[in-house]
Amino acid sequence: MIDEIIDRVRGVYGSWRRDTPVAKMRADWDALFSSCPLAATVEPAGAGGVDAVWLTAEHSAADRVVLYFHGGGYKLGSTRSHRDLMTRISAAARCRVLGVDYRLAPEHIFPAPVEDALAAYEWLLSRGIAAPHIALAGDSAGGGLAAALLLCLRKRQRPMPAAAVMLSAWTDLTAQSESYETRAALDPIHQRGMILGTARTYLGAHGDPENPMASPLFGDLRGLPPLLLQVGGRETVLDDSTRFAQKARAAGVDVQLEIYDDMIHVFQQFAGDLPEGGRAIESIGRFLRDAWGKSA
Residues forming the active site: 140, 235, 265
Identity (one letter) of the amino acid at 40? Answer: A
From residue 149, give the alpha-carbon distance in Å to each of 34, 184, 213.
26, 30, 8
Residue 232 to residue 138: CA distance in whole angstroms: 15
Could you check whether the bond before residue 111 is cis, i.e. omega within 30 degrees of 0? yes
**What CA–CA distance (Å, rounded) separates 296 from 135?**
13
What's the CA angle centered on 218, arms 233 and 71, to 5 degrees? 50
Do 255 and 225 touch, CB atoms closer than 8 A?
Answer: no
DSSP assignment string, 176-235: -STHHHHTTTT-SS--HHHHHHHHHHHH-TT--TT-TTT-GGGS--TT---EEEEEETT-
Classified as helix, coil or strand, 56 is: strand
- H or E element that contains 151: helix 141-155
Q: In whole angstroms, what is the distance from residue 142 CA to residue 14 CA? A: 23
